[in-house]
A = this chain, B = another copy of it.
Amino acid sequence: MFRILKKSNKSNARLGVISTPHGDIQTPAFIPVGTQATVKGLTVDQLKQMGIEALLCNTYHLYLRPGDKVVKKLGGLHKFMNWDRPIFTDSGGFQVFSLGYGIEHKTGKLAGYYHNLRPFIYDSKNKRLAKVTEEGVEFRSHIDGSKHFLTPEKSIQIQKNLGADIIFAFDECTSPLSDYEYTKKSMEMTHRWAIRSLNEFKKFKRLNSETLNQQLFGIVQGGQYKDLREQSAKFIGEQNFDGFGIGGSFGSSYGDSKENMRKVLDWIISFLPEEKPRHLLGIGGVDDIYEAVKRGIDTFDCVQPTRLGRNGSALTKNGNLNLKSSKWLNPPAGGPIDKKCQCYTCQNHSRAYLAHLFRVNEMLGPILTTIHNLYFMEQLMKEIRSKI
């Protein structure tokens, strides 16, 4: 399912192809996130036109709405969203982290969101929306506060129902603020959950062709502790997974998250079997991608390019461009985001027009900037692949 075409002689970087029933993914690849079975604001044709080969959807969100059973009845995620190329689904573990420690420590990506928007968060008795036990995670929906219980087995069942090509074992993502003892216990539980995920994956009746060729990736945890990361990579790497995810919240504001990420990759990469693909979960900064590819990472997913695009921030080789600024409305500053860029947005629209759209809250601003940002990521990965 994974073929290495070429290895760099300067680093651990490799050029490869992940094959799935819905086509191939040239690696290293950036996988855009379509949280709720849609990349926000873009049609599948727009995604295909820019050469995007795979998407990652969120198990937690799709389990809540429309529900994995609904998706299954409607023919699976590919048919549901009319995306006939490869799909990844995550395990729901990261969202559990966001609902639990993410809120307490304010490090989860969703923490601010929940704090700002959901009144029941403020109930001191319900401070945490998620409670982790050996069996699994009890959590409340961020939508209506309803109670749910997610286990490794259930995560696999949901992901089987959704029918993505590449699915992930259920894990707990610890906070960068968790101490050694908690991180160790959590990692050990994540390892037990990995085995339970694998067992469920194996025994699951392969009822239809959509799920027949799913690939299950295990997830390495261990926080910021070298011995735990090594232990985790060794343990997970020895299991019969089709590939590996590297988890953890590097995105905290405590310490140098980029440096943490590089350190972790340096610690673990040699413990992961070379012949299997490696996915770095939730990472998508340009610098981070360069550094991670060098260390042997094959695929990435991250909401950053799309989220930045929606917020009026365009990716360029010279950093992010704030399209909300009124200065773009003053000629001659009205050229495209990047004169050399071949994306639909740069070929058709000026910074001035984009600035106008953002300033008057028109949907087309986020749409056009998301198109540019995802195209930018595609070109970045293409360039990286050409250099290996």
- Chain A residues proximal to chain B, CB less than 8 Å: 36-38, 40-45, 61, 65-66, 70, 73-74, 80-82, 329-331, 334, 344, 348-350, 352-353, 355-357, 359-360, 362-364, 366-368
Contacts and interface: CB of A to CB of B under 8 A. Distances in A.
B38 A362 contact: yes
Given A38-B364, A40-B363, 13 more contacts: A37-B353, A41-B41, A41-B364, A41-B367, A43-B367, A66-B352, A73-B330, A74-B353, A80-B350, A80-B352, A80-B356, A82-B348, A367-B367
Contact of A66 (B38, B65, B74, B329): B329
Contact of A360 (B65, B331, B348): B65
A40 B74 contact: no
A236 to B, nearest CB: 33
A43 B80 CA distance: 24
B82 A349 contact: yes
A80 B357 CA distance: 11
Given A38-B357, A359-B66, A362-B36, A352 B74 contact: yes
B80 A353 contact: yes
A353 B70 contact: no
A42 B74 contact: no
A213 to B, nearest CB: 24
14 contacts: A36-B357, A37-B353, A38-B362, A38-B364, A41-B41, A41-B364, A43-B368, A70-B352, A73-B330, A74-B329, A74-B352, A80-B352, A82-B349, A363-B363
Contacts of A344: 43, 45
A368 B43 CA distance: 8
Contact of A348 (B44, B352, B353): B44
Question: Which 6 interchain pairs have the tightest Cβ spacing?
Answer: A41-B363, A38-B364, A66-B356, A36-B360, A82-B348, A38-B362
Contacts of A364: 38, 40-43
A70 B356 CA distance: 10
B65 A356 contact: yes
A143 B368 CA distance: 24
